[in-house]
Amino acid sequence: MKKEKKQRELTFFDIPKNRNMVVRLLYAVLTILLIIDLFIHRHGDFHWEESPEFFAVYGFVACVALVFVAKVLRIIVERKEDYYD
């Protein structure tokens, strides 16, 4: 009984303040990465690899594109769970 009560308490991620802290931490890391990138010399096999912040832009765009294409794909291929029965 005691154990169950303990488990029902709010834990780390249930508290909005903690969640916001994690998100702010992410923003901080992103900013640091963007700044460092300006100061390092890049070598790449393609010329666009050498332009600053290329990977940041590509990572973001790729992920957004992925989700939007997946949404379109879902319209085409989605079926009910008992479709094959």
Partner 1 sequence: MIENVPLGAIFIIGALFVPFLKGKIKSSYILFLPVLAFITLLNMPDGTHWVFGFLDYNLILVRVDKLSRLFGYIFIIWAFLALLYSIHLKDKVQQTAALIYSGSALGIVFSGDLFSLYIFWEVLAISSTMLIWARRGRESIRAGFRYLLVHAVGGLSLLAGIVIYVAETGSPEFGYIGLSGVASYLIFLGFCLNTAVIPLHFWVPDAYPEATVEGAIFLSVFTTKTGVYVLARTFPGTELLAWLGAIMTAFPIFYAVISNDIRRVLAYSLLNQVGFMVCGIGLGTALAINGAVSHAFCNILFEGLLFMATGAVLYMTGKSNCTDLGGLYKTMPITCGLCLIGALSIGGFPLFSGFISESMTITASAKESLPIMWFILQFSAVGVLHHASIKIPFFTFFSEDSGIRTEEPPFNMLLAMSIAAFLSIFIGIYPDVLYRILPYPVDYEPYTLDHVIGKLQLLFFGVLAFCLLIFSGYYPPEKRTINLDMDWLLYRKPVQYGLPALQFIFGGIASIMGRIFTESAPRVLANFVSNPRPKTDRLLSPMGVSVLTAIAFISILSAVFFLL
Footprint on this chain of partner 1 (rule: CB under 8 A): 4, 7, 11, 13-14, 23, 26, 29-30, 33-34, 36-37, 40-46, 49, 53-60, 62-64, 66-67, 69-71, 73-74, 77-81, 83-84
Q: Nearest Cα to 59, choosing from 77, 80, 33?
A: 33
Name the residue nearer to partner 1 (CB basis): 21 or 26: 26
Q: Nearest Cα to 33, choosing from 14, 10, 15, 60?
A: 60
Instruction: Give the nearest distance from C-beta 1 to partner 1 in angstroms.
Output: 13
Q: Is 68 exposed, middle or buried (0-12, 13-18, 19+ CB in 10 A)?
A: exposed
Instruction: Give the nearest distance from C-beta 80 to partner 1 in angstroms.
Output: 6
Instruction: Give the nearest distance from C-beta 8 to partner 1 in angstroms.
Output: 8
- Alpha-carbon span 21 to 31, nearest angstrom: 15
